[in-house]
């Protein structure tokens, strides 16, 4: 950021020019008061235009530095996402290995889906890095959420289908129990 105290303000310039004007009036009486006023006004205008030019240059420098800082912050955010994804991947892979030990197909399927989801997330981050992250920061956050949530939504839908299948099996078993209990009731009545 530019140091605003490095350059004098316009009011400071006016005060300096007024002091120099008094010194000029005392030292040199050759010039008339109107000519010294116009020359000091010209000096003030010249100096103020220099100040404004310096401020514009500093502003342009700040804007380019802000862009660099924004790009750097974007890279740091991307790296944080990569490390988060790698950590989640390691955890999902550990669960996949646990599902192998005593073979559990349900755990195996869930762990496999989690590993695949994290691999997809890493692939998305890799592509974003290759493209250079040219998206807006807000849009990037929303896109990241969508990219991360999509695989989990697919797993949830699959689990919902499995629940429906299990519920159908439960209903079928209830019907069998009901039929068997009715048959047992008839046998008990006939057997007495």
Residue 183 falls inside a structural domain:
no
CA distance 34 to 107: 94
Residue 178 falls inside a structural domain:
no
pLDDT of residue 165: 95
Structural domain including 53 reads 10-172
Residue 167 falls inside a structural domain:
yes
- The pTM of this model reads 0.37
pLDDT of residue 64: 53
Q: Which residues contact 81 (CB under 8 A, 6 or more apart)?
A: 125, 144
Cα-based angle 37, 42, 47 (whole degrees, multiple of 5):
125
Calculate the dihedral angle through the C-alpha atoms of 165, 168, 169, 172, rounding to the nearest 10 degrees: -160
Residue 138 falls inside a structural domain:
yes
Q: Which residues contact 77 (CB under 8 A, 6 or more apart)?
A: none
pLDDT of residue 99: 86
pLDDT of residue 155: 83
The domain tally of the chain equals 1
Residue 1 falls inside a structural domain:
no
HSE-CB at 37 with a 13 A cutoff on CA atoms is 3
Residue carrying structure tokens 């240059």: 57
Residue 123 falls inside a structural domain:
yes
Residue 180 falls inside a structural domain:
no
| The dihedral sign for the CA sequence 183, 186, 191, 192 | positive
Contact in structure between 121 and 85 (CB atoms under 8 Å): yes
Residue 185 falls inside a structural domain:
no
pLDDT of residue 132: 72
Long-range contacts, 157-166 (Cβ 8 Å, 24+): 158/113
Per-residue pLDDT of the chain (192 residues; tens, 9 = 90+): 444 445 555 556 566 666 666 665 555 555 444 444 556 666 666 666 666 666 666 555 555 555 567 777 878 888 888 888 888 888 988 888 888 888 888 888 888 888 888 888 888 888 888 877 555 555 666 677 777 777 788 888 889 999 999 999 999 999 999 999 888 887 777 765
């Amino acid at each position: 950021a530019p140091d605003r105290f490095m350059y004098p303000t316009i009011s400071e310039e006016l005060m300096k020019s007024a002091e120099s004007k008094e010194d000029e009036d005392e030292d040199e009486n050759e010039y008339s008061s109107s000519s010294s006023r116009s020359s000091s006004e010209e000096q003030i205008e010249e100096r103020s235009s220099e100040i404004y030019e310096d401020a514009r240059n500093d502003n342009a420098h700040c804007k380019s530095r802000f862009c660099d800082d924004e790009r750097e912050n974007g890279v740091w955010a991307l790296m944080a996402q990569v490390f988060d994804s790698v950590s989640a991947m390691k955890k999902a892979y550990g669960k996949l290995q646990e599902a192998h030990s005593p073979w559990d197909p349900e755990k195996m399927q869930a762990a496999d889906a989690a590993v695949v989801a994290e691999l997809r997330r890493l692939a998305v981050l890799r592509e974003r890095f290759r493209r250079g992250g040219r998206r807006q920061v807000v849009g990037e956050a929303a896109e990241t959420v969508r990219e991360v949530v999509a695989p989990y939504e697919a797993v949830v839908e699959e689990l919902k289908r499995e629940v429906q299948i299990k519920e159908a099996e439960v209903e079928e078993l209830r019907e069998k129990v009901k039929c068997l209990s009715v048959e047992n009731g008839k046998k008990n009545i006939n057997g007495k």
